[in-house]
Structure 1
Amino acid sequence: MMKILSVTAATVAALASPAFAAAPVPKGFLLYEKDAAKKDANPETSWAVSAKVTAKLVVNPCDRAALGRAGRTAAKTITYTAVPDYSKSEQIILFTGDEAAARAFADLKAAVRKCSKPDYRYATRAVALGDEGQAITGQSYQGGKPAIGGERAIVVRRANALVVYTQAGEWGKPAAADFARQTKDATRMLAKICTVAAC
């Protein structure tokens, strides 16, 4: 009887370990994977898909490779680019637990506060998505006024997962409508993220 109990305890420990939780994000899980898989004959547009756990956060005010990397178990990133300067990204990152994901989320908010410059500023506001969510604005400025160029991102934490949707391009003065597509995409992903996250 004691032997059976010890085996059961070991099994439970193995299931709870980060190594066991390190399954990749399933193929076809991201919203834009089907689009990314289509043949694109346009030389001015391209898709890139990566399952690298160490992928850089697609919204990264300080441009630090290590931002939000600690405690990751899996990730998948899709980026679409178009000439001259438009891009959009989708990124799902899974962590060892809620605490590690929350720390990555907090570190990103800290980077927003720390890494603004006079000619390119970041701002963030809370959004009612997931366990915690932020709308992050990156915006070019010239002479103190919004110039052409910027990025808009929705970043959401749900349990041990981060869900990120961004767009970058020739934005003008920041507006709430800039986040419409990213918010819609994040909402769709949140409806199924718990099939891979430990919700």
Structure 2
Amino acid sequence: MMAAILLAAAVAIPGNFLLYEKEAAKKDKNPETSWSASGKRSARLVVNPCQKAGLGQKGRTGARTLIYTSVPDYAKSEQVVLYSSAAAAGRAMRDLEAAVRACGSTGYRYSAARTTGLGDRGLSVTGQAYQDGKPAIGGDRAIVARRANALILYNVSGEWGKPAKADFKRQTGDARRMLAKICTIADC
């Protein structure tokens, strides 16, 4: 057990490991689009309903985050977070689920559903703007998956209307692709 913890602590997330890193590295002359990349272990989770800096931080050994933004209101994020153990990653996932239940006002609501076939545990998270009790334009659609001591997060924000299963197609596909290779750096 101790050897597994030391191995997890020693393994960093290598450059070009994330699915969109090569795309993010390309120079784009469009002033309305941009990529940001971070290898900060303390980066906030890209799915964070309460916007709490400490959500999912405990037990981290590494993180890699990519965020693409396009004016006026489109963004997509990719994040891989490694933890010291599967238990620590599981705790981060449970804390995220609790945040989904606790955060969001009547104007912007969050909901989550378990998603089967995505690692040890998968979750689809919907953030949705509401006006007069009805879905308005604007929201987030995310897939979060845990495999062993790793969390994998894919989020798309934009002009969504009423939530639908099809909203998660791209994020689910990306999560499956990352899950296929995450064990090269996670303690699976």
TM-score by length of 1: 0.91
1:103 maps to 91
What is the distance in 2 between the residues matched to 1:22 and 1:86?
36
- Which ranges in structure 1 are unaligned for 5 or more consecutive residues? 1-11
- Name the residue aligned to 1:57: 45
How much does 1:23 deviate? 3.0
Q: Percent identity?
A: 61
Matched pairs, number? 187
CA-atom RMSD in angstroms:
1.3
- TM-score relative to the length of structure 2: 0.96
Q: Secondary structure at the match of 1:21?
A: helix
1-structure distance, mates of 2:64, 2:54: 16
Runs of 4+ in 1 over 3 A off after TM superposition: 15-20
Partner of 2:122: helix, strand, or coil?
strand
- The match for 2:22 is 34
Taking structure 1 as reference, are residues 66 and 19 closer, same or farther at Cα in structure 2, changes over 3 Å only? farther
Q: Distance in 1 between matches of 2:148 and 2:11?
A: 16
* Deviation (angstroms), 1:21: 1.6
Matching residue of 2:167: 178
Residue 155 (str. 1) matches residue 177 (str. 2): no
Identify the match of residue 77 of structure 1 among 62, 65, 73: 65
> In structure 2, what is the Cα distance between the partners aligned to 1:17 and 1:70?
14
Q: Are the aligned partners of 1:45 and 1:83 in contact in 2 as well (CA < 8 Å)?
A: yes
Specify which structure has the bigger relative contact order, considering alpha-carbon pairs within 8 angstroms and separated by 6 or more residues: 2
3-state SS of paired residue (1:179): helix
Q: Residue in 2 aligned with 1:164? A: 153
**Rg larger in structure:** 1
8 Å CA contact 2:120–2:145 kept in 1: the answer is yes
Give the C-alpha shift of residue 19 in structure 1: 8.1
Q: Name the aligned partner's letter for residue 125 of structure 2.
A: I
Q: Which structure 2 residue ranges, 5 or more long, are not aligned?
A: none
Who is 1:90 aligned against? Answer: 78
